[in-house]
């Protein structure tokens, strides 16, 4: 296979002013925003003492403190997610390059890490701004949190310094440490980079989850002195897992968007081929990490319920229920664009044409599942209704029981996306093993059986049994999906061992429109992350630390969904603008020897 | 250049589309405002811990004690160990008060600050005989007996001595006179 050699072709300019313009717009927004005050009733009941809370907030005229913190935190998080995720798959790719003795992986890995180095600076900058904004507007809360978590601050900073050093050694040592033992050292640095990154995230997650499900404190907020209980609070590990996986998916999608950007602006076939391949790989990473994400989501939700029924109901019922419909639409859009991209990719080889007739059926099934998922259910209930039937729920997984049909849809959607991958993978292959026909039949049988089983489980448990068992279907359904994917992949691996190639894969031979699917993927991921991040934070309602430290500011109220959406959209646009700016800078840099 | 704009426009369009979708589909309901602050402590059911928390709040809030009594660069002595130092104060020949234990000493400091003036902290020109600290029971601070008891309990707690609180007496007093 030829190595595509990109070269610096035509460059776009003028992207410079855009990010700054938008950042200015965002600051302007942060300064406006509504400022309604909910006056407290001054007269108290008899026999009660009114403990006025100490001064906890600082006001700066014209600035909406909540929106400022919200946007800065979100931007910090987006960048942090990106710079945490990229080293993970860079290291895997570097190892793959060494094991397969394929230089291409090494180059691609290097190009990925180059992107994340630039983003790292912005991550740190937004982190610093976030700390400053929090100190400025919420000194009381910060003081409270510091009293508990101050022992974690020094390790956090130390890890940050080490991570920084690792990143720079990893990135700038890439060229010099390419051979023999040096390569191993280099990969060791990469490993350390990943470990420090994860450690940093895990510490920050402890602070965040403490605010949702505080541990180690008394009801009154008095700290017991047991730091580990505060760190290892009920939601800590579920969030660790969920965030890590989401970060990988998100990071992959952003890198794919970068590849799309370079593909579209490519000045030569070689360059186009290289970025096509990069886009394909990044998209693969994004989708592979997206598939198991719902399961991490289940765990997190279940733990939220287990911690506080009230918080769980806030999350799934009433007004926030709508956000899950919106999420469903977004995930549908993600699946559709990923599939669309794969279908376009079949044009890369002549053999792919064999499968074109099937695409319309896959498309139909996915669209159908999408519609099922989209059908509103929960949000039609009023919060009071949800509360009224709340008692009948399974104590832990309760709300999920409401969604048997949606569970069928999402599992089938995952399976059919996997099918797209399989077809794409085979597009230029022809199995040569003697039992090829049998193998394919076995795959088809497994696949059909899985679909039937998922449907049966969903329908039977969902509609013909007691409420308590409704939820019982989701676990075997997920197991079915996973087993089917694993079995089909295993068969496929053997089936196509030593397969005949029907023709070369012509990287770069992709229609431009396919690249916009990658852009859509990145935008959707970003926006979705922002929105669901809002939900995670907002279910604390009027508490800084749930049930312990009350938000007594004028901004303690929950905003409407439309308002939240607007804030998230502004954030997304700012983030994408800054990211595209990074793309632009990376595209302009002279490719350093390696490429 | 064209590519750049098309790319950016597409991304922005996607965001606009999603936003518009939400605006059209989701009900623009403003969630109900938070319930009134439950800052009323039912005295009948109050625990010692709650009483101490009230003390902390008064110390840092209404009493404005924390304005002067800070660990770093405070205009007044640090009170983190006051229940321990109180014993020494009461033995000091310069002591003019009537307190016999740390709890009383702290209460006395609030009501009659000049009963003992910590050397070096007195009003200028009074040779440490007059305290610059205001009487906490008088305006503008105007703490009630109940609040001062709570502050004393809080200060005793942070001194590591454990609070000596006669909760039943305090409850009865509060419920009879309302403060």
DSSP state letters, A223-286: B-S-HHHHHT-TTHHHHHHHHHHHHHHHHHHHHHHHHHHHHHT--SHHHHHHHHHHHHHHHHHH
- Which residues does chain B have within 8 Å of residue A46's beta carbon, measured at their own beta carbons? 178
The pTM (predicted TM-score) of the whole model is 0.70
CB pairs under 8 A between A and B: 153
Cα A78 to chain centroid, rounded: 9
A411, A545: one domain? no
The C-alpha of B8 sits at a distance from chain A's nearest C-alpha, in angstroms, of: 8
Is the CB of A559 inside 8 Å of chain B's CB atoms? yes
The C-alpha of B151 sits at a distance from chain A's nearest C-alpha, in angstroms, of: 12
The C-alpha of A200 sits at a distance from chain B's nearest C-alpha, in angstroms, of: 30
A122, A270: one domain? yes
A61, A208: one domain? yes
> CB–CB of B170/B146 below 8 Å?
yes
- Domains of chain A: total: 2
Last residue of a domain, one of A503, A522, A547: A503
Which of these, A414, A413, A416, A412, lies nearest to A358 by C-alpha position? A416
In a domain, residue A284? The reply is yes
> CB–CB of A470/A462 below 8 Å?
yes
Which of these, A531, A519, A518, lies nearest to A572 by C-alpha position? A531
Q: Which of A46, A52, A542 sits opposite B62 (nearest CB)?
A: A52
- Checking if the pLDDT of A318 tops 80, the result is no
Instruction: Please report which helix (H) or strand (E) contains residue A430, including its range.
Output: strand A429-430
The C-alpha of A194 sits at a distance from chain B's nearest C-alpha, in angstroms, of: 30
A487, A532: one domain? no
pLDDT band at A397 (very low <50, low <70, confident <90, very high): very low
Would you call B28 and A561 a contact, using CB atoms and an 8 Å cutoff? yes
- Checking if the pLDDT of A453 tops 80, the result is yes
- In chain B, where are the structural domains located? 43-177
A567, A583: one domain? yes
Instruction: Please report which helix (H) or strand (E) contains residue B41, including its range.
Output: strand B40-42
A488, A396: one domain? yes
Would you call B31 and A41 a contact, using CB atoms and an 8 Å cutoff? no
> CB–CB of A378/A316 below 8 Å?
yes
- The domain of A293 spans 14-29+51-318+508-589
A493, A514: one domain? no
Angle at A481 between CA A480 and CA A484, to 5 degrees: 80
Q: How far apart are CA A338 and CA A166, in angstroms?
A: 33
Is the CB of A329 inside 8 Å of chain B's CB atoms? yes
For chain B, first and last CA: distance in Å?
74
A219, A355: one domain? no
Rounded to 5 degrees, φ, ψ at A542 are: -90, 30
In this prediction, residue A83 carries a pLDDT of 93
- Checking if the pLDDT of A236 tops 90, the result is yes
Would you call B39 and A524 a contact, using CB atoms and an 8 Å cutoff? no
Range of A58-62, A171-175, A203-207 with top mean pLDDT? A203-207
* Residue of A18, A42, A51, A387 to mutate when probing chain B, most B C-beta within 10 A: A51
In this prediction, residue A21 carries a pLDDT of 60
The C-alpha of A577 sits at a distance from chain B's nearest C-alpha, in angstroms, of: 8
A101, A234: one domain? yes
For chain A, first and last CA: distance in Å?
17
Angle at A293 between CA A292 and CA A297, to 5 degrees: 125
In this predicted complex, what is the ipTM? 0.77
A468, A549: one domain? no
pLDDT band at A595 (very low <50, low <70, confident <90, very high): very low
A489, A518: one domain? no
Cis peptide before A202 (omega within 30 of 0): no
3-state secondary structure B119-177: CCCCCCCCCCCCCCCCCCCCCCCCCCHHHHHHHHHHHHHHCCCCCCCCHHHHHHHHHHH
In a domain, residue A42? The reply is no
In this prediction, residue B168 carries a pLDDT of 86
Would you call B23 and A562 a contact, using CB atoms and an 8 Å cutoff? yes
**Parallel/antiparallel/unpaired status of strands B40-42 and A48-50:** antiparallel
In this prediction, residue A189 carries a pLDDT of 95
Is the CB of A51 inside 8 Å of chain B's CB atoms? yes
In a domain, residue A35? The reply is no
Rounded to 5 degrees, φ, ψ at A455 are: -65, -45
Residues 282-321 of A with CB under 8 A from B: 318-319
Would you call B57 and A53 a contact, using CB atoms and an 8 Å cutoff? yes
Residues in chain B: 179
pLDDT band at A390 (very low <50, low <70, confident <90, very high): very low
Q: How far apart are CA A112 and CA A96, in angstroms?
A: 15
Would you call A325 and B25 a contact, using CB atoms and an 8 Å cutoff? yes
State which residue of chain A sits closest to B63, comparing Cα positions.
A54
Last residue of a domain, one of A485, A503, A521: A503
A77, A211: one domain? yes
């Amino acid at each position: 296979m030829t190595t595509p050699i990109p070269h610096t072709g035509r460059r776009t300019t003028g992207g410079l002013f855009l990010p700054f313009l938008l950042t200015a717009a965002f600051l302007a927004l942060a300064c406006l925003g509504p400022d309604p005050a909910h006056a407290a009733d001054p007269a108290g009941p008899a026999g009660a003492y009114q403990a006025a809370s100490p001064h906890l907030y600082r006001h700066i005229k014209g600035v909406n403190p909540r929106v400022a913190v919200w946007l800065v935190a979100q931007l910090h998080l987006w960048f942090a997610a990106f710079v945490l995720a990229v080293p993970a798959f860079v290291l895997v790719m570097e190892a793959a390059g060494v094991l397969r003795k394929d230089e291409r992986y090494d180059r691609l890995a290097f190009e990925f890490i180059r992107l994340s180095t630039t983003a790292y600076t912005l991550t740190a900058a937004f982190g610093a701004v976030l700390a400053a904004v929090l100190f400025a507007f919420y000194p009381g809360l910060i003081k409270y949190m510091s009293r508990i978590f101050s022992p974690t601050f020094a390790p956090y900073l130390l890890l940050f310094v080490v991570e920084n050093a690792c990143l720079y050694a990893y990135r700038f040592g890439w060229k010099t440490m390419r051979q023999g033992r040096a390569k191993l050292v280099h990969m060791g640095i990469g490993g350390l980079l990943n470990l420090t990154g994860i450690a940093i995230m895990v510490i920050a997650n402890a602070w965040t989850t403490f605010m949702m499900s505080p541990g180690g404190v008394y009801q009154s907020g008095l700290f017991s002195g047991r730091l580990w209980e505060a760190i290892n609070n009920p939601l800590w590990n579920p969030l660790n897992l969920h965030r890590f996986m989401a970060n990988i998916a998100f990071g992959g999608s952003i890198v794919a968007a970068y590849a799309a950007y370079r593909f579209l602006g490519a000045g030569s076939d070689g360059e186009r081929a290289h970025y096509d391949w990069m886009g394909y790989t990044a998209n693969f990473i994004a989708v592979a990490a997206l598939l198991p994400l719902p399961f991490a989501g289940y765990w997190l939700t279940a733990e939220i319920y287990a911690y506080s029924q009230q918080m769980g109901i806030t999350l799934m019922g009433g007004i926030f229920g709508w956000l899950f419909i919106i999420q469903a639409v977004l995930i549908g859009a993600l699946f559709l664009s990923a599939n669309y991209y794969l279908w376009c990719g079949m044009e890369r080889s002549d053999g792919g044409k064999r499968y074109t007739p099937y695409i319309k059926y896959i498309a139909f099934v996915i669209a159908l599942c999408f519609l099922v998922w989209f059908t509103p259910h929960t949000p039609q209930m009023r919060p009071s209704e949800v509360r009224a039937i709340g008692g009948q729920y399974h104590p832990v997984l309760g709300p999920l029981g409401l969604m048997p049909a949606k569970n069928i849809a999402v599992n089938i959607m995952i399976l059919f996306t996997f099918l797209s991958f399989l077809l794409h993978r085979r597009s230029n292959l022809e199995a040569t093993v003697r039992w090829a026909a049998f193998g394919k039949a076995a795959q088809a049988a497994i696949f059909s059986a899985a679909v039937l089983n998922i449907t049966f489980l969903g329908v039977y448990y969902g509609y013909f049994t007691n409420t308590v068992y409704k939820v019982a279907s989701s676990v075997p359904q997920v197991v079915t999906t996973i087993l089917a994917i694993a079995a089909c992949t295993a068969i496929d691996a053997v089936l196509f061992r030593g397969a005949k190639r029907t023709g070369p894969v012509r990287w770069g031979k992709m229609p431009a429109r396919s690249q916009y699917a990658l852009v859509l993927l990145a935008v959707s991921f970003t926006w979705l992350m922002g929105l669901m991040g809002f939900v995670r934070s907002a279910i604390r309602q009027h508490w800084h630390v749930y049930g312990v430290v009350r938000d007594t500011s004028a901004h303690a109220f929950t905003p409407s969904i439309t308002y939240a959406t607007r804030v998230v959209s502004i954030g997304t646009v700012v983030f994408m603008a800054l990211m595209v700016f990074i793309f632009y800078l990376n595209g302009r840099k002279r490719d350093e020897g390696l490429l | 250049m064209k590519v750049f704009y098309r790319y950016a426009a597409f991304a922005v369009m996607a965001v606009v589309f999603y936003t518009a979708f939400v605006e059209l589909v989701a009900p623009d309901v403003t969630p109900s405002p938070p319930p009134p602050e439950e800052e009323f402590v039912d005295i009948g059911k109050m625990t010692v811990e709650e009483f101490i928390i009230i003390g902390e709040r008064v110390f840092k809030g209404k009493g404005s004690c924390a304005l002067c009594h800070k660990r770093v660069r405070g205009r007044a002595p640090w009170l983190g160990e006051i229940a321990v130092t109180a014993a020494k104060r009461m033995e000091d020949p310069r002591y003019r008060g009537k307190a016999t234990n740390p709890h009383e000493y702290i209460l006395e400091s609030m009501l009659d600050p000049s009963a003992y003036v910590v050397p070096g902290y007195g009003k200028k020109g009074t040779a440490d005989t007059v305290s610059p600290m205001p009487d906490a029971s008088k305006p503008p601070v105007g703490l009630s007996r109940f609040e001062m008891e709570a502050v004393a309990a809080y200060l005793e707690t942070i001194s590591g001595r454990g609070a000596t609180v006669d909760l039943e007496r305090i409850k009865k007093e509060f419920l009879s006179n309302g403060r």
